[in-house]
Amino acid sequence: MVIVTGGAKGIGLAYCEALGRAGYRVAVADITDPGQVVALINDAGGEAMAVEVDVTDEAATYRMAEAVAERWGRIDGLVNNAGYFSAIEKTPFDQLDVDEWDLVFQVNVRGTWLCCRSVFPYMRDRGYGKIINTSSMTVATAVPHFLHYVASKSAIVGLTRALAREAGAYGIAVNTISPCYVPHDPAYTSRQDAAMGETIIRERCLQREMTQDDLVGTVLYLIGHGSDFVTGQNLYVNGGRAFT
């Protein structure tokens, strides 16, 4: 079974539906009510449960893991998809608001760490687990005027590598997925325009729009047994706009 944070909409919703179709039991975790996504999965013949969670709240992340383990007796995978991006405005680094800086790191870094920590005992006791964290292609391209966001996503790459070293002794694989701009996803469309999308497409080896389905395949690979000997890696899914 797999927990997906930020699973109530956008890319997270796509992950949840795909995991359900692939036969995984899915815990749809989000700060907003994920009940509608759970209904979609269950109506399609899958098995899902809803968990409302603020990933920055330590106690809430523990309750999330406990609720899932109580229902299904195990936690096989965690997809740390929850993040803070859509409300960020382009701002020169010397004009960034300190409170916004802290909020970005609270959600993107603290939230990821807390969720990893909450599921770790269940994976450790089984001697197996898969954790997928979410970084960003902006780490490779160093997009200006998003310093706090880029820095937070850079931290995720380091967090993943260090955690892979610690968790590997217990059979737990930890990897990062780094998406690019996804048109029509709520996390992006509120702040990106058509001209930006066209520029990004021109810079790719595979010159087309990226879709949520392009990310789904990578998540299914990293969560499945086909990647059991892959850990500490950062997989860029960007159509060849940047290389690692």
Domains contained in the chain, CATH given: 2-236 (3.40.50.720)
Average pLDDT, the chain: 91
Q: What percent of the chain has pLDDT over 70?
A: 90
Whether pLDDT at 101 is above 60? yes
Whether pLDDT at 54 is above 80? yes
Report pLDDT for 197: 65
Output the six-digit token pair for 84.
């803070």
What average pLDDT does range 61-74 have in this prediction?
Answer: 98
Residues 6 or more apart whose CB falls under 8 angstroms from that of 217 comprise: none
Q: Which of 15, 24, 149, 236 is catalytic?
A: 149
Report pLDDT for 194: 55
Other beta carbons within 10 angstroms of residue 166's beta carbon come to 11
Task: Provide the whole-model pTM.
Answer: 0.91
Report pLDDT for 186: 56
Report pLDDT for 206: 74
In tens, the pLDDT along 164-192 reads 999 999 999 999 999 976 765 555 554 45
What average pLDDT does range 151-162 have in this prediction?
Answer: 98
Q: Is 236 a catalytic residue?
A: no
Report pLDDT for 240: 62
In tens, the pLDDT along 195-231 reads 566 777 676 667 777 788 889 999 999 999 999 999 9
